[in-house]
């Protein structure tokens, strides 16, 4: 049973650490996007490549997101601080960061929970490995966490196509991969590959799924308008 309340807008974007993330055009876009929860990949934590600006903190302040979280995955000191980021207008009940397994360190996932109990909403922001072997290990890891949860969103640059996700039996069992349709988001100037995803558990149904056409990065942002089941909305009500 779905609530008649206005759907929550979920956005995901690999911004590629670009300095344009903090320019006026990007901020104007972020404000107009009306995202309730925004997952960012390859944001910079405040190094040379971002002009010493912590992009997550800056974007939260400038776009008036009351809640934000930065996960530093690869710390190259003054040269680069590769991170995942979360911007949220809803109040998180709990945030946990996961270091994903792989041949090389530097991949991670943010797990944010809204609400309490079995009908809480769980959102994961992830950036997976380029190598097939690394992604398999990371999807196995995420599958173990997701499997017992009910209302789940997994979003991010997963560096694999819908077909590759479907081929991973454990992950597609723990999360039935709905919706997974080929949202071509990479490269942004001539999109040919669906590497960026917002995946939903069977208990959730998207009202709209789309790619947003903005050339600030080599990836295009993707968005889902998400009506919440009544039980889930009740569970997260203190967060709204």
**Which pLDDT band, with edges at 50, 70 and 90, does 142 fall under?**
very high
pLDDT of residue 5: 56
Between 13 and 28, the higher pLDDT residue = 13
Between 208 and 17, the higher pLDDT residue = 208
Q: What is the pLDDT of residues 62-87, one digit of tens each?
A: 999 999 999 998 877 777 788 999 99
pLDDT of residue 1: 46
DSSP 84-101: EEEEESS--SEEEEEE--
Does the pLDDT at position 136 exceed 70?
A: yes
Q: What is the pLDDT of residues 151-187, one digit of tens each?
A: 999 999 999 999 999 899 999 888 877 655 678 999 9
Q: What is the pLDDT of residues 55-67, one digit of tens each?
A: 899 999 999 999 9
pLDDT of residue 60: 94
Between 211 and 7, the higher pLDDT residue = 211
pTM equals 0.93
User: Which stretch of 8-22, 128-142, 209-223 has the lowest confidence by average pLDDT?
Assistant: 8-22
pLDDT of residue 47: 75
């Amino acid at each position: 049973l779905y609530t008649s309340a206005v759907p929550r807008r979920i956005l995901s974007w690999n911004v590629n650490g670009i300095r344009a993330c903090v320019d006026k055009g990007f901020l104007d876009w972020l404000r107009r996007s009306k995202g309730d929860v925004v997952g960012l990949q390859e944001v910079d934590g405040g190094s040379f490549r971002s002009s010493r600006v912590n992009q997550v903190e800056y974007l939260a302040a400038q776009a008036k997101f009351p809640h934000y979280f930065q996960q530093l995955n690869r710390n190259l000191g003054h040269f680069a601080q590769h991170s995942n980021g979360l911007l949220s207008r809803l109040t998180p009940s709990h945030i946990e960061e996961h270091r994903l397994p792989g041949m090389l360190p530097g991949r991670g996932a943010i797990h944010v929970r809204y609400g309490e109990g079995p009908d809480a909403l769980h959102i994961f922001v992830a950036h997976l490995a380029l190598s097939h072997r690394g992604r398999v290990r990371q999807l196995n890891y995420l599958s173990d966490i997701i499997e017992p949860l009910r209302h789940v969103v997994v979003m991010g640059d997963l560096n694999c196509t819908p077909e590759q996700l479907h081929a991973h039996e454990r992950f597609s069992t723990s999360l039935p991969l709905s919706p997974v349709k080929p949202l071509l988001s990479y490269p942004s100037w001539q999109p040919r590959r669906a590497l960026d995803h917002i995946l939903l558990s069977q208990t959730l149904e998207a009202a709209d799924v789309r790619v947003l056409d903005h050339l600030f990065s080599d990836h295009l942002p993707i968005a889902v308008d998400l009506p919440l089941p009544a039980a889930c909305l009740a569970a997260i009500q203190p967060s709204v």
